[in-house]
Copies of this chain bind each other. A is one copy, B any other.
Amino acid sequence: MGVTIHQVAAEAGVSPSTVSNVLNGRSGRMLPQTRERVEQTIARLGYRPNGAARHLRTGRTQVIGLVVPSVANPFWGTFARHVEAAALLAGYRVLLCNSERDPARERDYLEELWADGIRGVVLCSSLPSLEHVLPLVERGMGLIAFDRTAQAGDPAGLVNISVDNAVGAELATRHVLELGHRRLAFVSGSLRSVNRRARFRGFEAALEQFGLTAADALLFSGGAQDHFGDLDIPDLGRAAARELLAAANPPTAIIAINDMCALGVSASARDAGLQVGEDLSVVGFDDIMLADLATPPLTTIRQPLPAMANAAFAHLRAGIEQDEPAAGGSLLMRPELVVRASTGPAPEVRR
């Protein structure tokens, strides 16, 4: 196959151990000239240590797993890119796993990663319970839960990283309330996930600050069926808006669970002959790249994705490389309101 450590050693006139020492930065234990000679030989032969052998010997590998619902979703695609960038800088590779939000698939993937010797995974699962991966955690799998906050019953030491969803939704809701809107609707799929529930709580909190209650607002949570798919969510937004706008007293502002959903809501409003930003205000969540490209550009809540990805990787790496008992908990990153053209004064106010 390729060049081995023995060939390098032979060429340099030293033993494999010395080459290994050079490779692993233990160069203090040898004459500078020896190190020099070995390094030159390595360069000349274009030698690169065999990862599998290293892995087998040390039990460590410079690979992490990244489990996301689906990289076809621009939000997760962007996150994946940032995680990969952070990993690359630290000399790690990233194994991509699309779970399609299927707990069985999440578990199976973690099992396979474990068998492949991978000991660190960024798990993007919004399922309220992580019990399906508990056996892995108990065996020692390093896990960072992304897009989720700590829940009672979580394994000890679990690090959760998420945007502050409640604060984000509150920012979004207050924004339209401040614009004079009083008939609001919240459009989401099933509220089964942790972060969706937090967003709804933020929505409620803002309403209360303005003397309203959730009962005054409309809620469209996708009915009984479980709209968890990332690909149907624009359709869900579309259908929800169609229904809401046809009601007797339709909302003038819609807070969507995320940008993809908001895009569906906007499309539906257009179908109904409404001008988004004038007749109807729409707010998204995430600030995916396309929020800015939509017609009209979408007002939304930005998640600090690069910082979140860096934090996720940094925590994961720390967990893998040190064997300290990780301090579990939730890291809630600060969201930011980005005002664009999809929101405007309430129709009543403008007149």
Contacts and interface: CB of A to CB of B under 8 A. Distances in A.
Interface of A: 1-2, 48-53, 55-56, 59, 61, 63, 66, 70-74, 76-78, 80-81, 84-85, 93-98, 111-117, 139, 231, 234, 260, 263-264, 266-267, 270, 289-290, 293-297
A96 B297 CA distance: 31
A98 B84 CA distance: 7
A80 B93 contact: no
B116 A231 contact: no
Contacts of A96: 66, 80, 84, 94-96
Given A77-B72, A94-B96, A266-B295, A53 B51 contact: no
Given A231-B289, A266-B295, 8 more contacts: A2-B115, A51-B116, A52-B52, A56-B56, A63-B95, A63-B116, A72-B78, A94-B96
A16 B180 CA distance: 75
Contacts of A1: 59
A287 to B, nearest CB: 13
A117 B52 contact: yes
A59 B52 CA distance: 9
Given A53-B56, A111-B48, A267 B293 contact: yes
Contacts of A114: 2, 48
A323 B340 CA distance: 56
A194 B231 CA distance: 31
Contacts of A116: 51-52, 63, 93
Given A52-B117, A56-B53, A71 B61 contact: no
A51 B81 contact: no
A72 B289 contact: yes
A62 to B, nearest CB: 8
Contacts of A50: 56, 115, 117
Contacts of A48: 111, 114-115
Which of A48, A51, A266 counts the most chain B CB atoms within 10 A? A51
A230 B208 CA distance: 43
A83 to B, nearest CB: 9
Contacts of A76: 77
25 contacts: A48-B111, A48-B115, A49-B115, A50-B56, A51-B116, A51-B117, A55-B56, A70-B81, A71-B77, A71-B80, A72-B289, A77-B80, A80-B96, A84-B96, A84-B97, A85-B98, A93-B95, A93-B113, A93-B116, A94-B95, A94-B96, A263-B293, A264-B293, A267-B293, A270-B295
Contacts of A94: 95-96
A78 B74 CA distance: 9
A170 B116 CA distance: 47
Contact of A77 (B73, B117, B234, B267): B73
Contacts of A290: 74, 263, 290
Contacts of A66: 96
Nearest to A116: B51
Contacts of A264: 293
A290 B291 CA distance: 11
Nearest to A290: B290
A69 B110 CA distance: 27
Contacts of A231: 289
